[in-house]
Structure 1
Amino acid sequence: MPPTLRQVAALPQLGLRPLTELRRGVTVRWVAVSELEDPTPFLEGGELVLTTGMRVTAEGAARYVARLVDRGVAGLGFAVGVIHEDVPRELLDQAREQGLALLEVPRPTPFIAIGMAVSRLLAAEWYGDVTRSSQAQRELTRAALKGPGPLIARLARELGGWALLLDASGEVRHAEPARARRRAPGLAGELERLRRTRSSRPRQGEAPASVALSGEEGHVVVQVVGLGGRPHGFLAVGTEDPLPPSAHAIVGAAVSLLTLQTESPGTRRRLRAALGGLLLGLPPDVAADGVLPEPPVRVLACAGGEAVLDALELDPAGERCLAVLLDDGRCAVIVPDRLAGQVTGLARASGPVGVSDPVDELGSPDQGLPHALVQAERALVAAWRVRAGRDSPHGVLCHADLPGQGLLGLLDPGLAQGFAESMLAPLRSEDPSLIDSLRAYLAANGQGEAAARALGVHRHTLRTRMRKAARLLGRDLDDPAVRAELWIALAVTDSPHTAIGHAGGSRNAPPEIA
Structure 2
Amino acid sequence: MRWLLDRPALDLTLVAGSGRLDGEIDCVITSELASPGQWLSGGEFMLTTGLRLPDGRAECRQYIRGLVESGVAGVGFGVGLSHPEIPEALVDAAEELSMPLVRVPLRVPFAAIARIVLDRIAEVRYEQFVRASRTQPSMTRAILSRGVEGVVAELAVAIGQTVILLDARRELVAARPGVPAPDLMSQVREFVDHERRSAGGVRISADRAFTMQRISVGKEVFGHLVVTGAEPLSDLARVLVGHAASLLTLEHAKPTQVVFDQRALLGEVLAGVLDGLAATGHVASMLARACGRSQTVRVAVFAFTDERVARNSVAELGSACTDLWRPAFVTQRGSQVAVLLRGDDGPALAGSLSQRLSRTAGVGVGLAVPIAETAASYADAALVARTAAPGEVLDVSTSRSLLANEQIRAGLSAAYPSMLGALLDDPNATELVETLRDYLEAGGQWDRAASAAGVHRHTLRRRVDRIERLLSVDLRDARTRAELLLVLLGHDAQAR
TM bucket, shorter chain: 0.3 to 0.5
Larger Rg belongs to: 1
TM-score normalised by length of structure 1: 0.46
